[in-house]
Amino acid sequence: MGILYLFFTFYTHLANSGKIIILCWIPSHVNIRGNERADTAAKSALSLPITNMKLPACELIPCVSKFCLDEWQDIWDCCKGNKLHTHCLTVKHSKNMSCYDSVLLNRLRIGHSRLTHSYLLYGDGPPTCQSCGIPLTVKHILVECSNLRAIREKHFTVSSVTDLFKSIDNHTIINFMKETHFYHQL
């Protein structure tokens, strides 16, 4: 009820201020093959007899995690045509890393970020590096910008973005970003 109330309040406010609002219906997960298989597998477990065997969660969770990670890796190994494959050959969870840093690292990997790509949403021109005067990209920040060279060399020396994600530890990349003014902007 609270969400509905909020929705109608915002909707009315925007409509009254002259905005044109188009509502889109977003289909659920119906007809998504992987999702339906997961649903069927989960439901089939309901008919299995309940075992009395006691298994501590601390023993079960690592096995389930490893199984899921292996399955994920098998799928990713078949995606060699994906342009992100060269940046990340091994699927893994970012250990001992905050949620913010994990998101940032993924944005750096895929080369898409709020700072470098939000202009597409607003219809502006692409941003430029204030120091170099050339288009500002994630690649430029990570390996090219001469204004960041001194900070970069404190953390790593690499020849390319691919080299960076292959040979440099995730925490080192994050520490580099923290020293730049881009850490909170991407």
CB nearer to Zn ion: pick between 170 and 182: 182
Among 9, 35, 86, 131, binds Zn ion (CB under 5 A): 131
CB of 171 to Zn ion, least distance (A): 24
Is residue 145 at the binding interface for Zn ion, with CB under 5 A as the rule? yes
Site for Zn ion contains 185 (CB under 5 A): no
The contacts of residue 145 (CB under 8 Å, 6+ apart) are: 129, 131, 132
Give the shortest CB-131-to-Zn ion separation in angstroms.
4
| Residue 150 Cβ vs Zn ion, minimum distance, rounded to whole Å | 13
Angle at 113 between CA 108 and CA 119, to 5 degrees: 150
User: Considering only residues 100-129, where is the footprint of Zn ion by CB under 5 A?
Assistant: 129
How does DSSP assign 26-44, residue by residue? ---STT-HHHHHHHHHHHH
Work out the number of other CB atoms within 10 angstroms of the CB of residue 177. Answer: 23
Binding status of residue 151 toward Zn ion by CB under 5 A: no
Stretch that binds Zn ion, among 40-48, 93-101, 143-151, 177-185 (CB under 5 A): 143-151
* Tokens describing residue 50: 């309940």
Q: Torsions phi, psi of 144, nearest 5? A: -110, -40
Which spans of this chain sit near Zn ion (rule: CB under 5 A)? 129, 131-132, 145
